[in-house]
Amino acid sequence: MNTEVTNKVKAAKTVTMEHVAKELNVSVSTVSRAFSRSYLVTSTTRERIKKYCEKLNYRPNLNARAIAMKKSQNIGFVARDISFMKNFESFAVNLEECLKQKGYRLQIELGHSDPIQENAIVESMLDRLIDGIIICSRHYIGTIEAVETLKNTSVPFVVLGYYHDQLVNQVAEDILSGAKILLKHLIGLKHSRIALITYQEGDPRISAFKQTYQEEGLSFDEGLIFHVSHDMRNLDKVINEILDKKVTALLAINDQMTAIIYRICHRMKIKIPDDLAIASISTCNETDIWNPPLTTYNVYHENYANLIGTILLDKIANPNGPNRIVHFGGELIIRESTLGLLRNIP
């Protein structure tokens, strides 16, 4: 080993961030940011710090510093299902940008449909000293193991979706209001036999049905609430049961389900909307080109990445601050999938 290399190795063993900061007349946090969050440091300062450290063969141990400071500047995002998002890539970019403004990095874990695995991912993040976590899950009743784990820690977190515990920070679509608006639209078109297809007990859309029927002075038929499995393999059977019950209009819970219902109807020669009017709460942009175009309650997803990021950052900055539950709304878009019956009424 030549003398220059030997001197570099010796220097690297004795140099600290404090030493670099003192020599370059900058703060210790500036040295740290030059390596971990370079966008917070001017390019001139960053290059000066890195060249000096390179000369000494030194690179800060940011993991050790994170442990010492009990902050990693990392935010975790864990999701079972992202299919309800219009554009997850755009959402992730916007969320990352929101967190980046405060010096945080985003770590994403997707597709963990097994609750045990989901909880293991959260526990692994906690072991790696995470500063905050976003859990993306729709769970209308019962508990989410990963959320219950987080409740027993001091790590701030937000649930993206509905959760039964009103003391948990959460951001979700206002699907109750959306369902009520769609129902009133269908009732206004003289439908009285309206069915709902859902995955879960406790779905807010069920409450929307009961409330709307009561508000409209109509009797509510529990037999018109149908449940399907998450894989929707029994959807054909449910559509047949709906037709047997003389249903004239159907509310589906999302675009994915509605697309399959459309295929079933086309295969069974069921005319939309003349035989069966169909509406859905929508999260995608292509329902206007379906055959026929779909009547939807179109959820506003444009700003919710910033919203959920801001709520989490506020909780990190003020752990004892109040928890927030935010429901974001949308608008009714009426298209051909619900207009057939009106044309047939004198």
137-154 pLDDT, tens digit per residue, is 766 667 888 888 988 888
Do 60 and 102 fall within a single domain?
A: no
Do 19 and 56 fall within a single domain?
A: yes
Do 227 and 271 fall within a single domain?
A: yes
Contact 169, 323 (CB under 8 A): yes
Q: Tell me what pLDDT residue 344 has.
A: 45
Do 259 and 281 fall within a single domain?
A: yes
Q: What is the mean pLDDT of residues 54-67?
A: 66
| Domain end call among 43, 68, 93 | 68
CATH number (domain holding residue 94): 3.40.50.2300
Do 155 and 264 fall within a single domain?
A: no
**Which pLDDT band holds residue 284 (cuts at 50, 70, 90)?**
low
Do 80 and 221 fall within a single domain?
A: no
Q: What is the mean pLDDT of residues 44-50?
A: 86
DSSP code at position 153: S
Contact 131, 73 (CB under 8 A): yes
As a whole number of angstroms, the distance between CA 15 and CA 39 comes to: 24
pLDDT in tens, 107-133: 888 866 778 888 888 888 887 778 999
Do 97 and 114 fall within a single domain?
A: yes
Please name the residue that has the structure tokens 């919710």. 304
Do 159 and 183 fall within a single domain?
A: no
- pTM flag (> 0.75): no
As a whole number of angstroms, the distance between CA 277 and CA 186 comes to: 8
Contact 167, 192 (CB under 8 A): no
Which of residues 315 and 343 earns the better pLDDT score?
315
Cα-Cα-Cα-Cα torsion 101, 105, 111, 113, nearest 10 degrees, comes to: -90
**Which pLDDT band holds residue 201 (cuts at 50, 70, 90)?**
confident
Contact 295, 333 (CB under 8 A): yes
Tell me: pLDDT of 339 over 60. Answer: yes
| Domain end call among 12, 37, 68 | 68
As a whole number of angstroms, the distance between CA 219 and CA 209 comes to: 11
Do 226 and 336 fall within a single domain?
A: yes
As a whole number of angstroms, the distance between CA 44 and CA 341 comes to: 69
Contact 36, 69 (CB under 8 A): no
Contact 329, 178 (CB under 8 A): yes
Query: What is the count of structural domains for the chain?
Result: 3
Q: Tell me what pLDDT residue 154 has.
A: 87
Do 156 and 203 fall within a single domain?
A: no
| Domain end call among 68, 100, 122 | 68
Do 169 and 181 fall within a single domain?
A: no
The boundaries of the domain holding residue 225 are 175-300+331-343
β-pairing, 225-227 vs 194-198, is parallel
Do 16 and 58 fall within a single domain?
A: yes
